[in-house]
């Protein structure tokens, strides 16, 4: 009996049980022999053909580059956590001052003093109103003078040894001279103002909104989270270093705005102009302002300094048309026309997409590499999406369904926030308008937003027999004299802003310094229940309210990071019951102290 023969992937041909040719008639033997030979040959031919198809497919996968990734030869490239999201080592200041300060920061005496420093600033209601006239022309600014007096009393060494400059009357800049003028300064920023408290909500506060009350766990009041904690943390760190006779090798600059909550139009712009005049463009090694935070993610802490910030555009769409008595209305009133336009706008939002070059996608990669709390199916999708366009689309669909923040993080947002029209119920409105706010994706632009609005709204306006001025250009060729009415599209406030330049991250000295400082502070925290492992995932600031949007010319290294923990905020900022957990506030002081000590002579910043 002949041994059985196996053909790969196509089953098994068993031993031959056909009788020998001498045992059968010659004619039959020959025909049987030919049939058997033909059958074996046919099977071999089929096997060779199938193997050829498989080989062709495999070769196609190996040699066909992916869209946008021509250098990648196949889709099964291993996901290397270190390559896609490298992590910095913890940086610990070598000076013995650190151990001394950490010991003091743990004392009850220091903590009560720090809590009262924050509580005292909260009790001074530096509320920022949108309708304030420039500093010096509105009495509501005078409350900032009271805050300055308090700060002078609370931080005597800062005011005795640093050069203080009052910019545009109420904005503050402190210059702490370093030993080496050849080194670029480090700039730490915060803001003094707070959003107003709505009087109708006062009875909803567990503690009065400007009490600065400390209940043993929480420090209560408007500004405790945003951003008087950042103001007091940086001042406390400097004051304590001065007490020990410390002088930095690198100059340290503190900058405190006065109207961040309305865009920094009086404060940050004046600080910017002052710093450009006295220090120059690209004069600072890095800027650290409020913004990103850290969160506990299972057995690790994820820190998310914002290294990018969305742009902003407020569009005004205004319709004018003949008025008249409401008893004889046209088919569409101007309000009806505006309603049709709004309906079309909301039916055609900007479509968010994942892009491998975006900061948001980089954050996802870091979570896939280091986040123990990320669901396994998402982790797999993210890892595979790095080299597969098909999986990138699958990941996009999954996030679109499951994460309400996908749209704001992966694309441009639009929101019709203001609408105005009509003065009386029996008079046809001759003029109506809307204001639509956009937060522009980092890979988009103001011009792209204008183009989108024009493309969506233009055809509707034409159907309504409106002439259209689309941001200074005639749309559709219909002049005002030939149309029933007119649609004017414009920049509502003249405050359009392109997306911020993206701060360099992995491999950049300033980022490595910040990352190492963050990891060092988190992994040495004595807070109960905090993991001992930390990782960084650079993030995107979506709100576009920070003062840093005015500081682009000062440095390429802007980090929006306050070292706050979301769980340390009782009810968030800008709402009732704003409060910060004291333990979280103490961690901010530890971080800012370490940042100053790490940065004052580091070669990573030059």
DSSP 407-465: HHHHS-EEEEEEEEE-S-TTB--SEEEEEEEEEE-TT--HHHHHHHHHHHHHHHHHHTT
Q: Are 136 and 230 spatial neighbours (Cβ–Cβ below 8 Å)?
A: no
Predicted pLDDT of residue 566: 84
Residue 289 known to bind ligand: yes
Q: Which residue bears the tokens 């056909």?
A: 18
Boundaries of every domain in the chain: 5-45, 108-296+504-514+538-605, 311-491
Q: In whole angstroms, what is the distance from residue 311 CA to residue 441 CA?
A: 7
Contacts of 255 (CB under 8 A, 6+ apart): 171, 172, 173, 174, 187, 188, 189, 190, 271, 275
Task: Please give the pLDDT value at position 313.
Answer: 97
In sequence order, what DSSP letters do the residues of 22-67 get, joined into one string? GGS-HHHHHHHHHHHHHHHHHHHHHHHHHHHHHHHHHHHHHH-PBT
Rg (CA), the chain: 33
Q: Chain-centre distance of CA 201, in angstroms?
A: 30
Burial-class residue 445 by CB neighbours within 10 Å (0-12, 13-18, 19+). middle
Three-class SS of residue 96? coil
Q: Tell me the C-alpha distance between 419 and 300, whole Å.
A: 46
Give alpha helix (H) positions in 494-599. Answer: 509-523, 582-599
**For this structure, is 102 an active site residue?**
no
Token look-up 């971080």 returns: 591
Return the pLDDT at 77.
60
Closest C-alpha among 157, 440, 122, 147 to residue 267: 147
Query: How open is the CA angle 78-84-89, to the nearest 5 degrees?
Result: 125
CA distance 10 to 19: 26
> What is the C-alpha to C-alpha distance for residues 385 and 271, in angstroms, rounded to an integer?
43
| Residue 226 marked in a binding site | yes
Contact 557, 602 (CB under 8 A): no
Answer yes or no: 398 catalytic: no
CATH for the stretch 311-491: 3.30.70.360
The predicted structure's pLDDT at residue 482: 86
- Nearest CA among 195, 196, 198, 193 for reference residue 147: 193
Q: Where are the alpha helices (DSSP H) in 124-279?
A: 143-154, 156-161, 228-243, 268-278
Q: Do 523 and 284 touch, CB atoms closer than 8 A?
A: no
- Output the DSSP codes for 263-308: TSTTTHHHHHHHHHHHT-TT--SEEEEEEEEEEEETTEEEE--EEE
N-term to C-term CA, the chain? 82
Quick one: pLDDT at residue 572?
Answer: 85
Tokens of 464: 């309504």
Say what the pLDDT of residue 529 is. Answer: 84
* Dihedral sign of CA atoms 509, 512, 514, 516 in order: negative
Instruction: Name the token pair of 438.
Output: 């956009």
Tokens of 495: 């405050």
Q: How many helices (H) and strands (E) does the chain have?
A: 16, 20
Beta bridge partners of 559: 288
List 227, 239, 259, 260, catalytic entry: 260
Query: By the 8 A CB rule, do 62 and 73 touch?
Result: yes
pLDDT computed for residue 356 by the predictor: 97
pLDDT at 481: 85
State how far the Cα of 221 lies from the Cα of 191, in Å rounded to an integer. Answer: 16
Q: Does this chain's domain 108-296+504-514+538-605 share its CATH topology with 311-491?
A: no
Choosing from 193, 290, 568, 601, the catalytic residue is: 193
Residues 6+ apart with CB under 8 A from 578: 209, 220, 221, 222, 223, 224, 225, 226, 569, 570, 571, 572
SS (H, E, C) 326-383: CCCCCCCCHHHHHHHHHHHHHHCCCCCCCCCCCHHHHHHHHHHHHCCCCCHHHHHHHH
Tell me if 261 is assigned to a ligand binding site.
Answer: yes
Q: Do 553 and 272 contact (CB within 8 A), yes or no?
A: yes
Q: Are 239 and 246 spatial neighbours (Cβ–Cβ below 8 Å)?
A: no
Give 458's contacts (C-beta < 8 A, 6+ positions apart): 468, 470, 475, 476
> What is the value of pTM for the model shown?
0.85
Our CA angle for 29, 30, 32, nearest 5°, is: 65
State the Cα–Cα distance between residues 388 and 385, nearest whole angstrom: 5
**Which residue carries 């089929």 as its tokens?**
46
d(CA 575, CA 293): 19
Predicted confidence at residue 43, as pLDDT, reads: 52
What does DSSP say about strands 286-297 and 558-565: parallel, antiparallel, or unpaired?
Answer: parallel
Question: Whose CA is closest to 225, among 566, 530, 524?
Answer: 566
DSSP 8-state code for residue 336: H
Consecutive 10-residue averages of pLDDT for the chain (606 residues): 31 32 35 44 47 43 37 52 91 95 98 98 97 97 98 98 98 98 98 96 97 98 97 98 98 98 96 98 98 94 97 98 96 97 98 97 97 96 97 97 95 97 96 98 97 98 96 90 94 96 97 98 92 96 90 98 93 94 98 98 93
pLDDT digits (tens, 9 = 90+) for 401-422: 999 999 999 999 999 999 999 9
User: Which of 413, 170, 392 has its CA nearest to residue 270?
Assistant: 170
CATH class of the domain whose range is 108-296+504-514+538-605: alpha beta
Residues 6+ apart with CB under 8 A from 136: 169
**18: number of Cβ within 10 Å:** 12
List, for residues 266-290, the tens digit of each pLDDT value.
Answer: 999 999 999 999 999 999 999 999 9
229 neighbors 265 (Cβ within 8 angstroms): no
Angle between helix axes 582-599 and 97-105 (nearest 10 degrees) is 170
């Amino acid at each position: 009996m002949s041994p059985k023969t196996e053909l790969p992937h196509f089953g098994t041909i068993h031993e031959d049980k056909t009788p020998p040719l001498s045992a059968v008639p010659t004619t039959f033997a020959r025909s049987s022999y030919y049939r058997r030979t033909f059958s074996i040959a046919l099977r071999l031919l089929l096997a060779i053909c199938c193997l050829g198809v498989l080989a062709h497919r495999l070769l196609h996968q190996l040699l066909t580059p992916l869209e946008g990734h021509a250098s990648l030869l196949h889709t099964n490239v291993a996901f290397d956590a270190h390559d896609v999201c490298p992590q910095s080592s913890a940086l610990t200041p070598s000076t013995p001052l650190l151990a001394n300060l950490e010991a003091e920061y743990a004392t009850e005496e220091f903590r009560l003093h720090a809590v009262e420093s924050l509580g005292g600033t909260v009790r001074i209601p530096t509320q920022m109103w949108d309708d304030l006239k420039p500093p010096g022309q509105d009495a509501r600014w005078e409350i900032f003078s009271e805050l300055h007096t308090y700060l002078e009393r609370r931080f005597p060494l800062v005011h005795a040894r640093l050069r203080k400059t009052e910019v545009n009357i109420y904005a503050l800049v402190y210059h702490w001279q370093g030993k080496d003028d050849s080194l670029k300064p480090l700039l730490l920023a915060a803001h003094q103002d707070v959003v107003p408290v709505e009087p109708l909500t006062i009875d909803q506060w567990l503690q009065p909104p400007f009490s600065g009350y400390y209940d043993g766990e929480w420090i209560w009041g408007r500004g405790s989270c945003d951003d008087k904690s950042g103001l007091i943390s940086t001042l406390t760190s400097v004051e304590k270093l001065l007490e020990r006779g410390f002088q930095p090798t690198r100059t340290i600059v503190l900058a405190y705005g006065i109207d961040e909550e309305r865009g920094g139009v009086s404060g940050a712009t004046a600080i910017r102009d002052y710093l450009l005049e006295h220090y120059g463009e690209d004069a600072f090694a890095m800027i650290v302002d409020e913004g990103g935070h850290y969160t506990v993610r299972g057995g690790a802490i994820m820190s998310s300094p914002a290294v990018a910030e969305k742009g902003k555009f407020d569009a005004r769409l205004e319709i004018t048309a003949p008025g008249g008595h409401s008893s004889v209305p046209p088919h569409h009133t101007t309000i009806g026309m505006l309603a049709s336009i709004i309906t079309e706008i909301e039916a055609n939002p900007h479509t968010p997409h994942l892009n491998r070059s975006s900061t948001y996608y980089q954050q996802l990669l870091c979570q896939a590499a280091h986040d123990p709390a990320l669901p396994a199916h998402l982790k797999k999708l993210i890892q595979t999406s790095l080299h597969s366009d098909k999986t990138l689309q699958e990941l996009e669909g999954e996030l679109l369904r499951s994460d309400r923040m996908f749209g704001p993080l992966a694309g441009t947002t639009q929101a019709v926030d203001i609408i105005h029209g009509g003065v009386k119920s029996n008079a046809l409105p001759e003029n109506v308008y809307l204001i639509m706010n956009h937060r522009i994706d980092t890979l988009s632009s103001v011009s792209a937003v204008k183009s989108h609005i024009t493309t969506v709204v233009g055809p509707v306006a034409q159907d309504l027999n409106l002439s259209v001025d689309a941001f200074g250009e005639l749309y559709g060729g219909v002049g005002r004299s030939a149309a029933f009415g007119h649609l004017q599209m414009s920049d509502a406030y003249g405050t359009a802003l392109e997306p911020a330049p993206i701060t360099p991250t992995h491999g950049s000295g300033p980022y490595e310094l910040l990352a190492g400082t963050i990891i060092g502070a988190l992994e040495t925290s004595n807070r109960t229940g905090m993991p001992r492992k930390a990782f960084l995932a650079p993030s995107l600031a979506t709100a576009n309210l920070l003062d840093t949007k005015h500081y682009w010319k000062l440095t390429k290294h802007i980090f929006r990071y306050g070292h706050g923990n979301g769980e340390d905020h009782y009810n968030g900022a800008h709402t009732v019951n704003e409060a910060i957990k004291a333990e979280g506030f103490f961690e901010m002081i530890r971080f800012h102290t370490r940042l100053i000590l790490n940065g004052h002579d580091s070669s990573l910043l030059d």
